[in-house]
Amino acid sequence: MKIVVCIKPVKSELVYPSESRVEEYLINPYDLYALQESVKIKQFMDCKIICLCMGPMGAVGMMQKALAMGADQAIILNDNLFRGSDTVATSYILAKAIKKIGNVSLVTCGRRTIDGETGQVVYGIGERLRYYCLPEVAEILDASGDALKVMQVTESENLVGQLNLPAIVAFHDFILSQPQISLLALKKARKSEITVWNAADLEVEEEKCGLEGSKTRVMQIEKEICKKKKAYIDGKTEEKAAFIFNIIKGKHS
């Protein structure tokens, strides 16, 4: 059984804004949880876990950590043609890579990225592969044959059911703390080969990648952060309530 875990590299300062980190890139916290849950499937059945990342070559160290966590293979998709890809172009490129890997039973990823927050790539991959897509998965409880027993999070309850494969799932939770990896596992991972595929390897249609293949356009970027002025309210409870009421009334008048 082949499992592909789609992981996105994010700048370390986005994960730890108040810390200075040695690593330039870290695994997106939502994808980190997906990787952890995917590795757990090895407890239930024999499987091969392949981590797939579209990003810069600076993500090699991040992919080595993924191998140290239990992944069996790591692939980076890197090409100038991929730069500027939105969710539509990204899902196209990732789907092409998954098809190239071949015979993939399960694709996993986090429900969103902390630098994008769109949460759309999982649906795009599912549509292109014609895989059943199950979002908001909390945990994989068991695996056997061509099915998984999963727990899904809804607004009102948690549901437990069987998911027939092939399928793609997006995990609900995230992990901010970096996993504890033994030095021996990390040393072994650093000796492993990281596969790199470019546009030619994937045989992509150039007009479907990068800015040309993207359906969204950035019209303007605001670098300045607008902060609202603070207002301190003094006086009795009735006076404070009246002050707040007048503010609200003014906004809606």
Q: What is the pLDDT of residues 229-249, one digit of tens each?
A: 666 677 778 887 888 778 777
Place of tokens 């997106």: 28
- The answer to whether the CB of 128 falls within 8 A of the CB of 97 is no
Using CA atoms, how far apart are residues 204 and 104, in angstroms rounded to an integer? 19
The SS3 call for residue 128 is helix
Neighbouring C-alpha atoms within 13 Å toward the C-beta of 111: 12
CA distances from 112 to 30, 32, 204, 228 (A): 7, 11, 25, 28
Q: Has residue 223 got a pLDDT over 70?
A: no
Q: What is the pLDDT of residues 146-160, one digit of tens each?
A: 999 999 998 889 999
- DSSP bridge pairs for 25: 11
Which strand (E) or helix (H) includes residue 100?
helix 87-101
pLDDT at 240: 79
224: DSSP letter:
S
Q: Has residue 224 got a pLDDT over 70?
A: no
189: DSSP letter:
H
Number of other CB atoms surrounding residue 224 within 10 Å: 5
Task: Specify the pTM.
Answer: 0.82
Q: Has residue 183 got a pLDDT over 70?
A: yes
Which candidate, 121, 136, 133, places its Cα nearest to that of 174?
A: 136
Q: What is the pLDDT of residues 31-74, one digit of tens each?
A: 999 999 999 999 999 999 999 999 999 999 999 999 999 999 99
pLDDT at 23: 82
Phi, psi of 188 (to 5 degrees): -65, -40
